Structure 1
């Protein structure tokens, strides 16, 4: 298990896998993403999908898993 306060340390190392809950409630899973920016005050981070090069903003509280490890609040 990983505490959500440690997410910034994991994503600064480059490519990682992630699972998070989208706005409509479904799980989004990707095995290859990188963090393009991390907003500590705003509680969000921007991730870039390596395969499609799409960039999305993700609220950190919606992340359920990083690199196969469960994220807890």
Structure 2
């Protein structure tokens, strides 16, 4: 088994697609990883492992949006 790290492949999804992707990942029985603590307004992420132990992230926001929220703090 490969060791697990936080190295991941991330994809942007639309907020409206979040629940659909979450349901599909659960239905496939893929192992999910708890997300990190979020800043309010930072958007949402789903973290999951594929069968080869690669970590993927589906994120509803952009880097620009994330940095804007951090700047407010």
* Length-normalised TM-score, structure 2: 0.31
Looking at CA atoms only, which structure, 1 or 2, has the larger radius of gyration?
2
Q: Counting strand residues as a fraction of each chain, which structure ranks higher?
A: 1
TM-score normalised by the chain length of structure 1: 0.31
User: Comparing both structures, which one devotes a greater share of its residues to helix?
Assistant: 2
